[in-house]
Amino acid sequence: MKGKHSRQIGNLLNKRDLSHLEHKVTQLRRINQSFQAILPAEFKGKCEVANLKEQELVIGTEIHTLATRLNLMLPSLIQTLRTQGHGYISKGKVIILGQKTGFEKAYWTAEKPDIQTLERLKNQCDE
């Protein structure tokens, strides 16, 4: 038998907006896995897929010199990703992550939202 919280989470995840977000997160994780696999060893763990918007792949790093090198490599990295099944990516850019951009590394380590976050999102959708 499902508990009260399980039913509430299930109801929230049935909402179209949240299922769209879940799909987006899954897509970004899949692209990032492919991206990490094709990176040179010295780049691994120092940059990651930050977003995919309108076929543009956004790569984030906190290291300025790495961003410059990534920008030079980006066309060939994107071509490799396209041949590996990510054909919807047509261009890319590299951004510098850090305090000025407001990016938080915790975003990438969060596996699933807690019940309070889901309830807050539900309330925002209902308003």
List domains and CATH numbers for the chain.
4-120 (3.30.300.180)
Residue 96 main-chain phi, psi, to 5 deg: -90, 125
Would you say residue 67 has pLDDT above 70?
yes
Percent of the chain with pLDDT over 70: 70
Return the DSSP state at 94. E
In tens, the pLDDT along 80-97 reads 999 999 999 999 999 888
> How far apart (Å, rounded) are the C-alpha atoms in residues 43 and 62?
12
Neighbours of 1 (CB within 10 A): 3
**How sure is the predictor about 109, in pLDDT bands with cuts at 50, 70 and 90?**
very low
Consecutive H or E run containing 56: strand 56-61
